[in-house]
Amino acid sequence: MIANYGYKDGSGDFFITIDTDKCDGCGACVEACPAQAFEVGEDPNDPLREDPAAFIVEAVRKKLKYACARCKPVTDRPPLPCVQACPAEAISHSW
C-alpha cells in the first residue's frame, strides 16, 4: 500500500510517501529522523496487517512542512536522512 501522509494547503503539497509493501518495520527511519516524525507499529491504515509498518506520527502530519524544514534548506540540499536510511527504499517526499 502506498501511504501518503501530509497535507495540501494554499502554500503547496507536503506529503511523505511510505510504500508499506516494501516496509518490513525495521525502524531505521525512526532513528534517522531528527524531528522524530516516524514511528513503527501497527499499520494505522491496514488493520488486518500482521507485521509492523512505519508511519508518520499523527501529531506531525499536519505540520510536515515545518517538521521537515531542517532537512530541506533552500540551497545545497543534502540527501534526506530518512530516505537514505531506509534499506527498502520505501520512503519518498513530494517536495
Partner 1 sequence: MAEEYWRWTESRWTDLGLSWKGGEIITAGVDVGSVSSQAVIMVDSRLYAYANTRTGSDSPNSAINVMNWALEDTDGLTLDKIQYTVGTGYGRVNVPFAQRAVTEIACHARGANFMYGPTVRTILDMGGQDCKAIHCDDKGKVTNFLMNDKCAAGTGRGMEVFADLLKVSINDMGELSLQVEEEPPPVSSTCVVFAKSEASGLLRAGWPKEKVLAAYSSAMVHRVVSLLERIGLEEDFAITGGIAKNKGVVLRLEKELGVKALEPKYDTQIAGALGAALFAKALVEKEKGKKK
Q: Which residues of the chain form contacts with partner 1 (CB under 8 A)?
A: 1-4, 7-10, 13, 15, 44-48, 62, 94
Q: Closest separation between CB of residue 75 and partner 1, Å?
A: 27
Nearer to partner 1, 7 or 81 (CB): 7
Complex with partner 1: residue 19 or 24, whichever CB lies closer: 19
Determine the Cα–Cα distance for residues 22 and 36; give it in Å rounded to an integer.
21
Smaller CB separation from partner 1, 22 or 62: 62
Secondary element (H or E) of residue 31: helix 28-32
82: nearest Cα among 56, 63, 60, 43: 56
Query: Could you tell me the three cell numbers for 19?
Result: 510504500
Q: Closest distance between partner 1 and the C-beta of residue 86, in Å?
A: 18
